[in-house]
Amino acid sequence: MQPININRPKAAEITLHAQEKYFAGEVEAALKLYVEAWSLCQDAIGAMNIAIAFEHLGDFENALEWSERAYQMRPEDWRTRTCYGGNLIREGRWEEAWQHWFPVIEKPFDGAGVEWKPGMDLTGKEVLVVPAGGYGDVFMLARYIPEVAKRFNCNVSFAPTEDMVPVFITQPSMANVNIREHRTWGVWMHLFHFPQLFQFTPEMVAADWKPYIEPVSLEGWEQDDIRVGIKLGAGEKGDLFKFRSVPGIIGEELISGIEKRVTLVALTQSNPLVNNWLDTIALISSCDLILSVDTATLHLAAAMGKETWAILGDFNDPKYGKGDTMPWYPTMRVFRGKGSGYKHTVDQVLEAMGVWLLNSRRQSCRVATM
């Protein structure tokens, strides 16, 4: 059966209107328009637009179906391939996903060597690893940088952005990694190559996990209360559609619901104690629990092995899967909007906080009487 192509110009006009609605945050209205455009012209990008809208509404079943349709129609397009791969990741079908999910990153700089390709022999080679994605992606995948050298018998260099150098250059796990040293490399890869290189499965990343970013002592601070670190905003300045930050009124409800019961620690740049990543690590180290939206702070705390609660809305990055846990971090608990937005998430966090506080105080009492 041939795809329908009744009126491509009209479909394009409707899609443009749908995009305006989508980037204004009116996703349900955008979805209706995308479907209308699809009825006039069935192409791969139209199917992908519908899949993405379903994702943002938290309807992951339909998102998977439509992303697969888009991929089947145009498997050579990196956009449809990555969209489909992302939905497979969310379903936990990682081994299938890595065949498709492969974001494209240009060669980092001259002298980096050739780009790694599946099946390439790394034995004895000088390998350069460069960042990919945002800060959170770097913190999440950094645990495997030393593993490249161990598993593939090669020399590894890592070139994080300069503001991240103080974090990684002091980590015992990175002792055998050359951090931002100028060398002559034979092969370069970015962090998003790692899933294909290691062929990750949820079971694999969960089985060999241990904290890999060391805490930092906050000098002059004596902890005698329950401290909860909090981060409710994400760096979405360049994003046309913002979905990772808790809306102001709902965030205020969360803060007012817990601030009288614990000492809240702001893990933001507005906190005068935060000037760099090491400051953030020190503050995280001083806390008993971290509450954070999907941002680098969340990944950093979890990478340190800190008890961490992820605050997500209806839509979230595929790496968070669909459940209340995440294989990348065994100390992370995931709270979701489940189709009802951040209000539902915050209600669930407040309910869980009451139980957590009760257990924390019981534990403190036990320790005090020993």
Assess if residue 292 is contained within a domain.
yes
Assess if residue 102 is contained within a domain.
no
* Pair 264, 301: CB distance under 8 Å: no
CA distances to 85, 145, 173, 330 from 169, rounded to whole Å, are 33, 13, 10, 25
How big is the chain by its Cα radius of gyration, in Å? 22
The residue whose two tokens read 């953030």 is 280
CA distances to 89, 139, 170, 213, 249 from 295, rounded to whole Å, are 19, 10, 22, 17, 20
Instruction: Kindly give the confidence (pLDDT) of every residue in the chain, 370 residues in length, as a single tens digit, with 9 standing for 90 and above.
Output: 466 777 889 999 999 999 999 988 899 999 999 999 999 999 999 999 999 999 989 899 999 999 999 999 999 999 999 999 999 999 999 999 999 987 777 888 888 899 999 999 999 999 999 999 889 999 999 999 999 999 999 999 999 999 999 999 989 999 999 998 888 999 999 999 999 999 999 999 999 899 999 998 766 555 668 899 999 988 766 566 678 899 889 999 999 999 888 999 999 888 888 889 999 999 999 999 999 999 999 999 999 999 999 999 988 899 999 899 999 999 999 999 988 889 999 999 999 999 999 887 656 554 444 4
275 CB neighbour count, 10 Å cutoff: 10
Q: Are residues 234 and 362 located together in one domain of the fold?
A: yes
CATH number at residue 67: 1.25.40.10
Q: Are residues 134 and 190 located together in one domain of the fold?
A: yes
User: What local confidence, expressed as pLDDT, does residue 52 receive?
Assistant: 95
Q: Are residues 301 and 255 located together in one domain of the fold?
A: yes
DSSP string, 27-84: HHHHHHHHHHHHHHB--HHHHHHHHHHHHHTT-HHHHHHHHHHHHHH-TT-HHHHHHH
**Percent composition of the chain: helix, strand, coil (DSSP 3-state, to 5):** 50, 10, 40
Q: Are residues 135 and 263 located together in one domain of the fold?
A: no
Assess if residue 356 is contained within a domain.
yes
Q: Are residues 150 and 60 located together in one domain of the fold?
A: no
Assess if residue 212 is contained within a domain.
no
The residue whose two tokens read 């749908």 is 18
Assess if residue 178 is contained within a domain.
yes
Q: Are residues 239 and 157 located together in one domain of the fold?
A: no
Give the type of residue at 331. T
Question: pLDDT tens digits, residue range 279-292?
Answer: 999 999 999 999 99
User: What local confidence, expressed as pLDDT, does residue 222 receive?
Assistant: 59
Assess if residue 3 is contained within a domain.
no
Q: Are residues 271 and 308 located together in one domain of the fold?
A: yes
The residue whose two tokens read 């390709």 is 117
DSSP state of 192: G
Q: Are strands 325-326 and 155-158 parallel, antiparallel or unpaired?
A: unpaired
270 CB neighbour count, 10 Å cutoff: 8
Assess if residue 88 is contained within a domain.
yes
* Pair 50, 66: CB distance under 8 Å: yes
Interatomic CA distance for residues 170 and 282, integer angstroms: 14
Q: Decide which of 45, 71, 97 is a domain's last residue.
A: 97
- Contacts of residue 94, defined as CB under 8 A and 6 or more positions apart, other chains included, come to 88, 195, 200, 201, 202
Beta strands in 220-282 (DSSP E): 227-231, 263-266
Q: Are residues 192 and 237 located together in one domain of the fold?
A: no
Q: Are residues 270 and 312 located together in one domain of the fold?
A: yes
- Torsional sign, CA 243, 245, 246, 248: negative
Alpha helices per DSSP H over the chain: 8-23, 27-40, 44-56, 60-73, 78-90, 94-97, 135-141, 145-152, 165-169, 194-198, 202-207, 248-258, 277-285, 296-303, 341-369
User: What local confidence, expressed as pLDDT, does residue 363 receive?
Assistant: 60
Give the domain range for residue 320. 227-369
Interatomic CA distance for residues 103 and 105, integer angstroms: 7
Interatomic CA distance for residues 354 and 347, integer angstroms: 11
Domain count, the chain: 3
Question: pLDDT tens digits, residue range 178-226?
Answer: 998 888 999 999 999 999 999 999 999 999 899 999 998 766 555 668 8
Give the type of residue at 113. G
Q: Are residues 249 and 326 located together in one domain of the fold?
A: yes
* Pair 191, 128: CB distance under 8 Å: no
CATH number at residue 347: 3.40.50.2000
User: What local confidence, expressed as pLDDT, does residue 369 receive?
Assistant: 44
Assess if residue 2 is contained within a domain.
no
Structure token digits, residue 55: 């994702």
CA distances to 102, 276, 304, 369 from 147, rounded to whole Å, are 20, 27, 18, 43
Q: Are residues 237 and 352 located together in one domain of the fold?
A: yes
Q: Are residues 44 and 153 located together in one domain of the fold?
A: no
